[in-house]
Every structure is written in C-alpha cells, then in structure tokens.
Structure 1
Amino acid sequence: MQNDFINKLNAFTVLYAEDEDGIRNNIQEILQHLFKEVYSAKNASEAYMKYLETNPDLIITDIKMGNETGIDLVKKIRKSDSKTRIIITSAFTDLEYLLQATELHLIKYIVKPITQDKLMEALEAFVNSYDNSKIYNLIPNWIFDYSKAIVSNGKEEFTLTKKENTFLKLLISKNRIITYEELETNIWDEDSVMTSNAMRLFIKNFRKKLPKDFLKNVQGVGYKLVRD
C-alpha cells in the first residue's frame, strides 16, 4: 500500500456505524491504524448524535441497524449536509436499496462481507474524491484546500490570501524550487512591484499558516517545500 495513500488517510476522521459487535470491532481496529480519529456507533440514532458532535470527514454505515436504517441516517444528514463523504455497507444487493443509495451521493456501496480489499478500494475512492476537489495532503494531519484557500491541521484553519493560495498551489504542482523570478511573474500583480521588503513580509506571514519548517529558502534561488 502506498505511503502517500496512508498519509492522506491519516489526516482525516471517520465515523463507523454497525450494530453487529464483532464486525464493528474488527473494522474499527483496521480504521484506527489508518485514520487520525475513529468514532463508532451501534445504531443510526447514536451515529447521528456522534456525527453532530464530531463532524467527521467520512461516515461508513451499515444499512440494516434495528428499526432505523443506514439509508434513514444518510437521508437525515443529507438534508443539511451535501459535503460529508459517505460509504454504505450492506449484506443486501436488493435493487431498491441500491437505487436509494445512488440518490444519496455516496462514495461507495460495499456488499458484505467486508474484506480488506473491498474496504481499501472504498477508502481509495474517498481519498480520490478529495483529490478531484483540489484538496492536497501537505504532511500527515495537514490539508490544503485550494478551492477554499484554506490550510488546516485538524485543529486550526488558516485562510490564505490570493497570493498565498496561488503560491502554495504552484509549489505543490511543480514539486521543485520556485525561483524568485517565477514568484514575481506568477504571484505578484502586474500593477505592483515585488520589492525585497514586500517579499520578506509575504513569506513571513505565509510561513505562519504552514507546518513548521515546511517552506525552505534556497539562498539566491527561490523557495521549495520540505515534505520529509
């Protein structure tokens, strides 16, 4: 399994809802090795309360859980939340369940038994859904959302300026040293001049929103990211 994939998962939180103790304990143990935080619930009502309390990045829920179903849970969440990623697990392949599930904007529908291969395939789809939304993993626990101009470490969110957002995207996409000339050409407005003082202030403020020692100055050349 690729380290990059594991590092990305390690930046997210997950809520797992399953009424069968054995299955829940087994899957929860796997998830705890992959995610930053794992929350669990035995039924749909408990799952909804924990969803409200923890605001997880991903919800994995079984369909059949006592009187309430996972479908009921997801419909309730989707009334006010279209962003949270959701994976459904079920022993059923009934067409009615599948049709209801397709209307709820799910990442994946896993048919039980939940094998490690099925689970990893679903989690890869979860990570890819963020990649497609222009969300990048900087280092474990640090996420950069280009579309929202936000850097987050799971505890704090830092809003980037237009220049900072463009510069970080450039550093990530090029994956090399960005020269001072490139910085001036790509980041600075045509109507302004990139003086030494302006650049130093820009970099000083930018570093405050990044992981420690993440942005390195290459003397006389430019800047690069340090991701090791």
Structure 2
Amino acid sequence: MQNDFINKLNAYSVLYAEDEDGIRNNIKEILEHLFKEVTCTKNASEAYIKYLENNPDLIITDIKMGNETGIDLVKKIRKSDSKTRIIITSAYTDLEYLLQATELHLIKYIIKPITQDKLMEALESFVNSYNDSKIYNLIPNWIFDSSKTLVSNGKEEFTLTKKENNFLKLLISKNRIITYGELETNIWDEDSIMTANAMRLFIKNFRKKLPKDFLKNIQGIGYKLVRD
C-alpha cells in the first residue's frame, strides 16, 4: 500500500457494524491501523446511535445482523444525510439486496468473505470519492482537507479560517514563492487593508496549524512551503 493512501485514511473516522464477533474483531484490527478513529457496534440500532454521536466520515455495515439489516440502517441515515460515505458487506449475492443497495449511494458492496484485498479496494474507492474536495499530503502524517478547511496530523485537527484555507491552497497549487502582493490580491478581503501588523498576526496564527518550519518566509519577497 502506498504511504499516500494510508496518510489520507488516517485523516478520517469510521463506524463499523458487524454482528459476528470474529469478523468484527479481525476487521477492527485492520481499521485501527488505518483510521484516526474507529467505532464498532454489533447491531444496526447501536450503529445508528453511534452514527448520531460521532458523525463518522465512513460507515461500513453488514447487511444481515440478527433481526435488523444494514439496508434499513442506511435507509434511515439517507433520509437526512446524503454525504456520509457507506460501504456494505454481505454474504448474500441475492439480486433483491443488490438492487436495494444500488439506490443508497454506496461507495462499495463487498461480498464476504472480506479479504484484505477487497477491503483495501473499497477503502481506496472511499478516498477517491473525495477527489473533488481535494485532499493534500503536506508531509508524512499531515493532511490538508480543503473541503473541510482543516489540517490534521492524525492526532490533532486544526480548523483553518477562510484566508488560511485559501492561502494554503494557493501555496500548494503554485508550488513556488507567493509574493506579498499575491497574498494581498488573492487572499485578503477587498474591504480590508493588509497592514504589516495584520499580515504578521495572520502568519503567526497560520503557522500554529502547520507542521514545524513548513512555511518559510523569503525576506522581502513572500512565503513558500518547505517539504524536505
């Protein structure tokens, strides 16, 4: 597996619902090495409660869990939430289940047994689903998610202001020194003036949310990112 892929997964949380203890424990062990936060449940009712409490980025649920089904769980979630990514696992290849699943906007439908290859393929689809929102790797273990306006190192999350989010996107996309003039033109509000004090305060607060020594000041010119 590529480090880039693993680093991206490490920025997300996952909820896993599976009633078979052996399967749940095995998959949980894999997920805990990949995601920043893993919550496991044994049934759909408990899974829905944990979904409301934790607001996970990804839900992985089995279809058949006692008298409840993962399909019912997903339908309940989809009544008010069309964005949370969902993967369904099932021992069933029944056409009825498959047809119901296709209407629920799933990332993947995994047929059991859940091999590591199948799981990783599904997780890769999960990561790729964020392509439009642009997730960037800053340095190992540091992720910038421009859609969520946050920077994460796997242990902490730092919420960016609108200016900070736009500035970091500009630094990454240009991959060169961004001059003071560009900073003022592209980042600063039209109704405010970028004074020297305002810029210093902005940069000081911005650096607190980035890897150490990641943002370098080029004296008299502007700023650039240092990734080495």
TM-score range, shorter chain: 0.7 to 0.9
Does the C-alpha gap of structure 1 residues 191 and 72 become closer, same or farther in structure 2, counting only changes over 3 Å?
Answer: closer
Superposed displacement of residue 127, structure 1: 1.0
Match status 1:79 vs 2:79: yes
CA distance in 2, matches of 1:17, 1:75: 15
Match status 1:27 vs 2:23: no
Superposed displacement of residue 108, structure 1: 1.0
Match status 1:99 vs 2:108: no
Does the C-alpha gap of structure 1 residues 55 and 179 become closer, same or farther in structure 2, counting only changes over 3 Å?
Answer: same
Does the C-alpha gap of structure 1 residues 167 and 55 become closer, same or farther in structure 2, counting only changes over 3 Å?
Answer: same
Match status 1:119 vs 2:119: yes
Counting only pairs closer than 5 Å after superposition, residues 1-228 of structure 1 correspond to structure 2 as 1-138=1-138, 143-147=143-147, 150-153=149-152, 158-161=159-162, 163-188=163-188, 194-227=194-227
CA distance in 1, matches of 2:76, 2:85: 14
Q: Using structure 1 for the length normalisation, give the TM-score.
A: 0.85
Does the C-alpha gap of structure 1 residues 107 and 117 become closer, same or farther in structure 2, counting only changes over 3 Å?
Answer: same
Unaligned runs of 5+ in 2: none
CA distance in 2, matches of 1:190, 1:43: 53
Q: What one-letter code is carried by the residue in structure 2 that aligns with 1:46?
A: E
Higher deviation after alignment, 216-225 or 100-109: 216-225
Alpha-carbon deviations, 1:165-184, whole Å to 9, x = none?
32111112223332334324
Does the C-alpha gap of structure 1 residues 78 and 23 become closer, same or farther in structure 2, counting only changes over 3 Å?
Answer: same
Alpha-carbon deviations, 1:71-127, whole Å to 9, x = none?
011111122222211111112222211121111111111111212111111111111
Higher deviation after alignment, 135-144 or 114-123: 135-144
Q: What one-letter code is carried by the residue in structure 2 that aligns with 1:15?
A: L
CA distance in 2, matches of 1:48, 1:190: 45
Q: Using structure 2 for the length normalisation, give the TM-score.
A: 0.85
CA distance in 1, matches of 2:227, 2:82: 32
Does the C-alpha gap of structure 1 residues 101 and 126 become closer, same or farther in structure 2, counting only changes over 3 Å?
Answer: same
- Over 6 Å off, 4+ runs: none
Q: Percent identity?
A: 86
Does the C-alpha gap of structure 1 residues 191 and 18 become closer, same or farther in structure 2, counting only changes over 3 Å?
Answer: closer
CA distance in 2, matches of 1:6, 1:151: 18
- What secondary structure sits across from 2:129 in the alignment? helix
Q: What one-letter code is carried by the residue in structure 2 that aligns with 1:171?
A: L
Count of residue pairs brought into register by the alignment: 226
Superposed displacement of residue 4, structure 1: 1.1
Unaligned runs of 5+ in 1: none
Superposed displacement of residue 155, structure 1: 5.7
* Matched-pair contact (CA < 8 Å) for 1:151–1:159: yes
- What secondary structure sits across from 1:60 in the alignment? strand
* Matched-pair contact (CA < 8 Å) for 1:87–1:106: yes
Q: What is the alpha-carbon root mean square deviation over aligned residues?
A: 2.6
